[in-house]
Amino acid sequence: MRKIIIGNWKMNPGSLKEAQVIFNDILKMVKGLKNTEIIICPPSLFLSIGDKLKIKNISLGAQNVFEEMNGAYTGEVSTKMLSSLGVKYVILGHSERRNLGETNKIINKKILATLKEKLLPILCIGENTRDNNGFYLAFIKHQIIECLANIPKAQIKNIIIAYEPIWAIGDKAINEATKDEFIEIQIFIKKIIADIYDIKTANTIKIIYGGSVHSSNAKEFIDGGADGLLVGRDSLSPKKFKEIIEIIK
């Protein structure tokens, strides 16, 4: 299975010119790359950097989308708009969006809208804290069940699930997550999918890791069975991003 490396630029960089320079540098280093798919998710205003993109193993992704196709929704962006710009993937349910008030039910509507437009959702899940009683597992289960409500079995293979433990993200991280902690969640996610659908369907889903990924921990999670990585800050540095790609390759 091809490994997936997603670069989430968040609200960076500061200009279209800077975004184009970073993207062009990434394009140069992924030419000829095999068995790895690179997905770059810039701010929506900068999606034009991928205009006329023809390299097979790199795709454009969006960081969010609205659940309605059109209408009086000031400031929102629809799946059809993203599709017209050559976008293939959409990050949904990122912890930073959830902190702004997005619920599982809203995320579910966005997944349904994304699949309807034949775009591929990257569903982010993850707990705020870990406890000794295993309540975090119930929290994750609730996220998955609500976010995947009414998703047809045939569509599950088109969804990537990104596990991002919030306690391991950013400058305020409590600890770094370990390979064993990822493996536990990976098995748990597949069990939930198997319970909702069946084992065969559970084995088709791609599960990646996305909690403060950098070159010093990338190999650990890939060795732990991750189908790929969701990279934040280091995806804005072509040099650091290349180091991660080389490790995965």
Enumerate the active-site residues.
94, 164
**Of 152, 244, 242, 166, nearest in space to 201 by CA:** 152
User: How many other C-beta atoms can be found within 10 angstroms of the C-beta atom of residue 125?
Assistant: 26
- For 35-172, strand residue ranges (E) read 36-41, 58-62, 87-92, 120-125, 160-163
Residue 101's Cα: distance from chain center in Å?
19
Residue 83's Cα: distance from chain center in Å?
17
Tokens representing 22? 């970073």
Tokens representing 25? 């540098």
Bond from prior residue into 238 cis (ω within 30 degrees of 0): no
Q: Which residues neighbour 177 within 8 Å (Cβ) at sequence distance 6 or greater?
A: 165, 168, 209, 211
Number of helices (H), then strands (E), belonging to the chain: the values are 9, 8
Tokens representing 18? 């800077």
Using CA atoms, how far residue 207 sits from 9, 79, 83, 182, 185, in Å, is 20, 23, 24, 10, 10
User: How many other C-beta atoms can be found within 10 angstroms of the C-beta atom of residue 171?
Assistant: 6
